[in-house]
């Protein structure tokens, strides 16, 4: 397929800059992948689509406050440092993006916080904006992470044109987030409230957790018309045997297996056994899913509404059927559904 087949007009006004008032009260479009039929609901109505022994696969990654603002030594210029991932815990080496990049060279020292709570040194150039930095910190790992918490901002995507607030710290995080390592939230999971999860549990729905640490690649634009030429950024994922057992039992019993979000889907599709079952894994995936694609594990999916020409839209189109999904997106624009991270949801059954 071609990149241009995933173009559609998305009015700027439909990109959600704030979350819905209650997590489970965002709007929900339900799409039947066989018939293309569409229903309009509220997110908590997912209760009506799942029952005893059905399984929902959740990504339990936790977003850390990855955006830091510091000052360059000597000049005092303000620098944004976006922490991508920790390369070496003992040496406190991190892979980061810096802005403005042209001012940041190897050997420069960066100071963070009013009283220089953290100091870092640039040790390598990785890309035009990428750097490797080493934090010069003698305390314990716990103290270091506490300082990151104090200094760091919730890494809201750039298209949200406002500063992160205290509310974002809670709302740009799923209620089941456990394993720190993501710089972007697995957004379909943001719609689950504690009450809704309790009610799903009471209906007999099982939850299987996987971990995929979402990187900035999730927002990276596709720049080639021929999709087979696009390379995805690699992301770390972990699937434990306990979750494998829950999912494979549901597959065996022909129950509904629902991937909550494109990140959960990407993780499970990166760990398929020869017998087309889920297998345990601790690995990195750069899997790019676009139509046509045969899915092995999930038979339903919850996802948000994604932007034109994004890899996320491509995966959703592969799952729901290209024609059905593009039609559903037309309807979503007409009905003024809210798009992207803080937007509304879609259930594909």
- Using DSSP, state whether 59 is helix, strand or coil: strand
Model pLDDT for residues 14-39, shown as the tens digit of each residue: 999 999 999 999 999 999 999 999 99
Residue 345's DSSP bridge partners are: 28, 304
Residue with tokens 């710290």: 169
Model pLDDT for residues 161-217, shown as the tens digit of each residue: 889 999 999 999 999 999 999 999 999 999 999 999 999 999 999 999 999 999 887
- pLDDT number for residue 92: 95
What DSSP string runs through 236-275? EEEE-HHHHHHHHHHHHTT--EEEESHHHHHHHHTSB-TT
CA 170-164-8 angle, 5° bins: 95
Query: What is the dotted CATH code of the domain comprising 67-153?
Result: 2.40.10.240
Neighbour-count burial for 53-72, b at 16+ CB within 10 Å, e otherwise: bbbbbbbbbbbbbbbbebbb
The phi and psi torsions of 116 (rounded to 5 degrees) equal 50, 55
Domain positions in the chain are: 3-63+169-348, 67-153
What DSSP string runs through 62-78? EE---EEEEEETTT--E
Give whole-number Cα distances, 343 to 62, 99, 139, 208, 260, in Å: 19, 28, 40, 24, 15
pLDDT above 90: residue 115: no
Residue 34's CB is within 10 A of a number of other CB atoms, namely: 8
Give dist(CA 2, CA 7) in Å, integer. Answer: 10
Does this chain's domain 3-63+169-348 share its CATH topology with 67-153? Answer: no
Give the strand pairing for 78-88 and 93-99.
antiparallel
Query: Which among 307, 227, 319 has a CA at the least distance from the CA of 264?
Result: 319
pTM score, whole prediction: 0.92
- pLDDT number for residue 217: 79
pLDDT above 90: residue 75: no
DSSP state of 234: P
Give dist(CA 112, CA 278) in Å, integer. Answer: 44
CATH class belonging to 3-63+169-348: alpha beta
- pLDDT number for residue 73: 84
Handedness of CA 229, 230, 236, 237 (dihedral sign): negative
**% pLDDT > 70, the chain:** 100
């Amino acid at each position: 397929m071609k990149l241009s087949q995933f173009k559609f007009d998305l009015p700027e006004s439909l990109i959600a800059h704030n979350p819905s008032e209650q997590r489970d009260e965002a709007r929900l479009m339900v799409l039947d992948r066989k018939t293309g039929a569409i229903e309009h609901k509220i997110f908590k109505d997912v209760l009506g689509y799942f029952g005893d022994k059905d399984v929902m696969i959740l990504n339990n990654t936790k977003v850390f406050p990855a955006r830091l603002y510091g000052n360059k030594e000597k000049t005092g210029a303000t620098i944004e440092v976006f922490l991508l991932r920790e390369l070496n815990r003992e040496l406190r080496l991190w892979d980061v993006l810096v802005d403005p990049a042209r001012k940041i060279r190897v050997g420069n020292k960066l100071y963070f916080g009013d009283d220089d709570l953290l100091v870092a040194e640039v040790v390598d150039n990785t890309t035009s904006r990428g750097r490797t930095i080493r934090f010069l910190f003698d305390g314990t790992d716990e103290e270091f992470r506490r300082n990151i918490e104090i200094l760091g901002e919730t890494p809201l995507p750039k298209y949200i044109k406002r500063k992160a607030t205290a509310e974002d710290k809670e709302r740009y995080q799923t209620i089941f987030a456990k394993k720190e390592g993501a710089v972007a939230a697995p957004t379909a999971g943001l719609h689950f409230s504690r009450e809704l999860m309790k009610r799903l549990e009471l209906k007999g729905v099982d939850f299987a957790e996987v971990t995929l640490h979402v990187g900035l690649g999730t927002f990276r634009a596709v720049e080639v018309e021929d999709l087979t030429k696009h390379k995805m950024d690699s992301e770390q994922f972990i699937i434990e045997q306990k979750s494998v057992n829950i999912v494979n039992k549901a597959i065996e019993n022909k129950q509904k297996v629902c991937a909550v979000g494109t990140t959960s889907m990407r993780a499970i599709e990166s760990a398929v056994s020869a017998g087309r079952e889920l297998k345990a894994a601790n690995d990195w995936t750069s899997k790019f899913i676009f139509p046509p694609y045969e899915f092995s594990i999930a038979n339903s999916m919850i996802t948000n509404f994604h932007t034109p020409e994004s890899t996320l839209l491509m995966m959703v189109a592969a799952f729901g059927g290209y024609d059905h999904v593009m039609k559903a997106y037309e309807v979503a624009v007409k009905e003024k559904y809210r798009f992207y991270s803080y937007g509304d949801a879609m259930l594909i059954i």
